[in-house]
Structure formats: structure tokens, C-alpha cells
Amino acid sequence: MTKEEVLRSFLADPLFIEQCILKPGEADKIRWSDDKNNDFIKVIKIAIEGEVSKESKTVTARKINQLLG
């Protein structure tokens, strides 16, 4: 499973449409390199990146906190 596929799995959640972050059907086509100016998606991408690269959870958490700080 590539990180793009993992990202799509997360973005398939109906919450993204409910909160108008994504349009219906958009999640299936999204690419890893697509620059979505949304903190929620950015958080997910940092988490996936950290998991795939076997980064320590502390480091990933720090990156996310920095983003949201």
C-alpha cells in the first residue's frame, strides 16, 4: 500500500465532504503531491509520512503540533 493509497483511505471518510473540505469523488483522485491548503489533510499526510518512513511517533507528533501551533 503506497502512502497515496493510505491517504485516499483516510480521505474517503464522509467527514471531509460534510465539512466541505473535499467534493464528492475528489478523494479517489487525490494525489500525494496535490497541495491542499487544509490543516486537517496536512496533519494526515504528516502522520502517514511518519508511519511509512518509520519515524518515531514523538517526532511526528512534534511536526503536527508545529503545524497546528
Partner 1 sequence: MILQSIELNNFMCYYGENKFVFTEGINVIIGDNGYGKSKLYDAFYWVMYDRCFDTSKKEFRQTSHLKRLIVSDKACKEVVDGSVTTYVKLTFHDQIKDSVYIIERSYKIHKNGDEIREDKDSLQTIYKKDLAYLNAREVDDPFQIDQIKNLILPENIKPYMWFQGEQVESIIDFNKQDTLTQAINVLSNISRFDDIKELATSLNDNAAAELNRKVRSLSKDKGKSEQLELDRQTLIERTKGLQVQELQLKDSLAKAEENSELLINKLEEAQKIRQLEEKRKNIEKQLLEVIAELDQEHTSLHKKMFTNKWVLKGCEHLFEDYSKKYSDYDFNKLKKKAELQARIDAENAVLAELQTRLPIDVPEPIYVERMLEDEHCLVCDREAKKGSEAWNKINELLTRQTAKLQTLSPEDISTHNFSGDFKKLYQNGLGLQYSIGNVDKDIADTFKRQRRINNKRKNLHTELVAIESQIQNLISESGIGINEAKDLLSSYTIQNDYAKSYQRQVSDLENKIRNNHEKLKTIDEQLNSLVTGEIPRSLLSKVEVLKDFEHVATATRNRVFSQLVKMLEVEANHHYNDMTQSNLSARGIIKLKELSNGNFMPELVDSDGNVLLQLNTGNIILIKLATIMAIISARQGSRATDLYTLITDAPMSVFGEDYTIGFCKTVSKVYRQSIIMSKEFYRNENLRNELLNNPEITVGRVYMITPSIPETERSNRESLTTNIKALN
Contact 3, 22 (CB under 8 A): no
Closest CB to partner 1 among residues 34, 38: 38
Does 9 bind partner 1 (CB under 8 A)? Our answer is yes
**Cell 519515524, residue located:** 55
Distances (CA, A) of 18 to 36, 37, 40, 57: 17, 17, 14, 29
Does 32 bind partner 1 (CB under 8 A)? Our answer is no
Does 53 bind partner 1 (CB under 8 A)? Our answer is no
Does 48 bind partner 1 (CB under 8 A)? Our answer is yes
Does 28 bind partner 1 (CB under 8 A)? Our answer is no
